[in-house]
Amino acid sequence: MMIQIDAVPINYDLVIGRDGEFKFVKGFSYPVVGSPVYILNSEMINRMYNHSIVERMGIDISKTTDDAQIDPRIGVIKMFQASNTVIPIYVDFEKLVRYHFGVFAFTGGGKSNLMSNILRKLLLHTKDVKVVVFDISCEYVFLLIDLLADEKMPSKVILEHRIDSIEQFFNSVVKPREYEADERIKYGLKKIMDQDKVAFYTRPKQKIPTYAQFLEELNDQRKGCTDKPHYLNAIDKIHDAILDYIEEHGLSENQEVSEDFIRYIDSIAVQTIEEFKVHEKSGLYAWATTRTTIIDRIRRRQEAEKKETGGLTAEKIRELLDGDTRLVCISIADPITIKELVVTLTQDLLVRRKRRFQVKPYILLVFDEAQEFIPELSGSAGIEKKCSKQVETLLRQGRKYGLGVCIATQRIAYLNTNALQQLHTYFVGTLPRPYDRALISDTFMIDKGILEKTLEFAPGEWLLSSYIATGIENVPIFIKADNAEKEIEKFLRNSPPIL
């Protein structure tokens, strides 16, 4: 009898010492023809994938369970599902968040289920991680309803428009087909509303220039002054005064100007045009003597914001994250609005962390339907291109400042490949299109033969591989993820009906 086995090298050798101690060493020893072959048992597989992580987290894997409140596991290793042996799979949440991860599968593969499963366990089993979900499909309010309704979990739901009733809230949330008419959901939504956790996004009513725009306006004055060197000298003096103010106060050019700055630069500008004899009918004179009008704009905006009860601007969302809030779910279906918010909020977060040299608390920014936020640059323009570039910048620089990114999509071919290359961990489900599998293989250096196996996956089954967040680096693992709907169903079973 002959047994034929197909195997793919994982580039690790299992080295067993004379005293029985073992270790996995990165490298590859070619098998010798005729030498004995051993199959790793479940205990060794468990140690290979989990040992370093469970030791660090202090987890007793003998008591593993799919209950999210008790066990932080992501799921179980698929190869032992047929036996009675359950081998859980754990990831290092800190490294998962800080070094970015992606979830890729075709429609119906269970992306949102897996994402909510990871986010739930991440929030329940860490203390210094915050999560912002850019939810363009408006489904995460349902998928995380148990956490959002939990009084112990500081959280906020930010909708596109103000809502005044449970019915409006219920209709604004996208639910799986079997839950579309489930009245129990209203109990969870009522709990969220009763805790004042629901707000809506409001764009700033008055446009306040940033320091960069201020400098741009000043530089535009040079165009008509090439034959007037004293005008150019006046512009240079005001320009240097603006840069000095930014430097002295530790500001960023992307920040909006303040009242104090306007008063300061107004006095400098007026003094400078007098010093350099700028003519009162010139454009430079008009620009320099009208800076105080911006103060009125700033005050009008402040007044408007006071009247908008419940409305949150990008700045106020950032202030929530500076406070105790751990989960922010931004459910906005309009693509232009949510992309503008992504650009403003992520820019603000990155600039502030750079200026403060701040790393903790970690913030995970989740982009579901990632093709909307990081499309391929060559085929995009306007706000789409701006958003894609900003998220790419966040992926490149964020890990140095504790800002992690998660992207989930079924349309990998349409993504910005520069952004994809920044991911250190990825979950791959069924991808029917050969081009998508080839792109994953080329981007993440994973064997195409292994990716072909994903075509056999049922919903909830994943190929997990990580350069940093699993117990053994860059070794693909076939897993069956825990079902997030079990947690939702458990919450809904304990929900009394709304009378």
Mean model confidence pLDDT for the chain: 87
DSSP secondary structure letter of residue 375: B
What's the pLDDT score for residue 251?
A: 78
Kindly report which listed range (118-122, 241-245, 377-381) carries the lowest average pLDDT score.
Answer: 377-381
| Model pLDDT for residues 130-140, shown as the tens digit of each residue | 999 999 999 99
Angle between helices 335-356 and 314-322 (to 10 degrees): 50
| Model pLDDT for residues 291-347, shown as the tens digit of each residue | 888 888 888 877 776 665 568 888 889 999 999 999 999 999 999 999 999 999 999
SS3 at position 5: coil
Kindly report which listed range (7-21, 194-208, 442-456) carries the lowest average pLDDT score.
Answer: 7-21
What's the pLDDT score for residue 307?
A: 63
- Where are the chain's structural domains? 89-202+310-493, 211-303
What's the pLDDT score for residue 312?
A: 87
Mean pLDDT of 422-443: 89
| Model pLDDT for residues 138-190, shown as the tens digit of each residue | 999 999 999 999 999 999 999 999 998 999 999 999 998 888 888 899 999 99
SS3 at position 363: strand
How far does CA 120 lie from the centroid of its chain?
A: 14
| Model pLDDT for residues 218-238, shown as the tens digit of each residue | 888 887 777 788 888 988 899
Among residues of the chain, what percentage have pLDDT more than 70?
96
Residue, of 437 and 40, whose pLDDT is higher: 437
| Model pLDDT for residues 356-368, shown as the tens digit of each residue | 888 989 999 999 9
Is the domain 89-202+310-493 a CATH 1.10.220.110 member? Answer: no
* pLDDT of 8 higher than 80: no
Conformation bin of residue 77: beta by default, left when phi > 0, alpha when psi is -120 to 50: beta
* Phi, psi at 134, each rounded to 5°: -90, 95
Kindly report which listed range (322-336, 367-381, 433-447) carries the lowest average pLDDT score.
Answer: 433-447
What's the pLDDT score for residue 222?
A: 82
What's the pLDDT score for residue 133?
A: 97
What's the pLDDT score for residue 349?
A: 92
Find tokens 């680096």 and name the residue: 473
What confidence category does residue 499 fall into, taking pLDDT thresholds of 50, 70 and 90? Answer: low
What's the pLDDT score for residue 125?
A: 94
DSSP secondary structure letter of residue 256: B
B/e letters for 154-188, b = 16+ CB within 10 Å, e = fewer, are bbbbbbbeebeebeebbebbbbeeeeeeeebbbbb
Conformation bin of residue 251: beta by default, left when phi > 0, alpha when psi is -120 to 50: beta
Strand pairing report for 327-331 and 155-159: parallel
What's the pLDDT score for residue 154?
A: 95
Q: List, in sequence order, every beta strand (DSSP E) within 53-128.
A: 75-77, 88-89, 101-104
Kindly report which listed range (35-39, 359-363, 452-456) carries the lowest average pLDDT score.
Answer: 35-39
What is the H or E stretch that residue 234 is in? helix 229-248
* pLDDT of 108 higher than 90: no
Q: Nearest CA to 326 among 185, 144, 160?
A: 144
* pLDDT of 28 higher than 80: no
Find tokens 């070094």 and name the residue: 99
What confidence category does residue 109 fall into, taking pLDDT thresholds of 50, 70 and 90? Answer: confident
* pLDDT of 72 higher than 90: yes
Contact 257, 214 (CB under 8 A): yes
What's the pLDDT score for residue 205?
A: 65
| Model pLDDT for residues 254-301, shown as the tens digit of each residue | 778 888 999 998 898 889 988 888 888 888 888 888 888 888 888 887
What's the pLDDT score for residue 209?
A: 84
Tokens of 464: 């997990």
What's the pLDDT score for residue 192?
A: 95
Based on its alpha-carbon atoms, the radius of gyration of the chain, rounded to whole angstroms, reads 27
Among residues of the chain, what percentage have pLDDT more than 90?
40
Mean pLDDT of 401-410: 94
* pLDDT of 206 higher than 70: no
What's the pLDDT score for residue 62?
A: 77
